[in-house]
Amino acid sequence: MPKPLQESVLLTRPGLEQREALVTIGIRELIPSSTIASAIPKTLRQVKTWLVQHGIPEWGQPFFRFYRIHMGAQYDLEVGYLLPAPVPGDAAVIRGEIPAGTYGVLRYKGKNRGYQGNKALLDWAKAAGIEWDRWDSPAGDHFRCRYEVYLSDIEREPDHKNWIKEVCILVKS
């Protein structure tokens, strides 16, 4: 039975998963925390437009990757799509890669924009003694790889309360 996370539902218990590398295409930018909720869908539309204009016939799920989090101030964020195979990017839209490795993973459903899903994964890792591949600086918390991927088709499901997301954070090796 799913466990409630306030207005979300935890669909899986936090756990560790070995992952292969994933090819991505996206836009990386500094986003003020006050605009993140509107910036992600806007950037996804820009990337999708770019994919169509460049004749890329298929792409996978949308994702966003946190390179740096400065809570209450700014995010260094890449927003885009997973790809089945590499394609060349350009100055605006970059090809990237989510590295292979062991990830802490949690899946949840809900409208909280990830805060509670991320918190549940972070709390679990702390209690289990798991260390993330991350470091601190005055500019915020940096991650070698921390991302969320939409498992739901967000274009066919307009109600974000029904969206299923997966939070993934790379474990320190």
Is there a single domain that holds both residue 57 and residue 110? no
Question: 35 and 48 in one domain?
Answer: yes
Do 44 and 27 lie in one domain? The reply is yes
Average pLDDT, the chain: 91
Domain that holds residue 41: 22-98
Residue 115 has pLDDT above 80, yes or no: no
Say whether both 26 and 88 belong to one domain. Answer: yes
What backbone torsions phi and psi does residue 39 show, to the nearest 5 degrees? -70, -40
The reply to whether 140 falls in a domain is no
Same domain? 32 vs 75: yes
What domain count does the chain have?
A: 2
CATH number for 69: 3.20.80.10
Residues near 77 by Cβ (< 8 Å), separated by ≥ 6? 28, 29, 30, 31, 36, 39, 40, 64, 65, 66, 67
Residue 141 lies in a domain: no
* Residue that has been written with the tokens 């921390």 in this structure: 146
Same domain, 5 and 72: no
User: In this predicted structure, what is the pLDDT of residue 72?
Assistant: 87
Q: Is the model's pLDDT at 7 over the cut of 70?
A: no
Contacts by 114-123 with C-beta closer than 8 Å and gap 24+? 114/148, 114/165, 114/167, 116/5, 116/6, 116/7, 116/8, 117/5, 117/8, 117/10, 117/148, 117/165, 117/167, 118/148, 118/167, 120/5, 120/10, 120/14, 121/14, 121/167, 121/169, 122/169
Query: Predicted confidence band at 1 (pLDDT cuts at 50, 70, 90)?
Result: very low
Asked if residue 1 is part of any domain, the answer here is yes
Residues 39 and 93 in one domain: yes
48 with 60, same domain: the answer is yes
pTM over 0.85: yes
Residue the block writes with tokens 């539902």: 9
Same domain, 40 and 28: yes
Whether residue 119 is contained in a domain is answered as yes
Residues 153 and 170 in one domain: yes
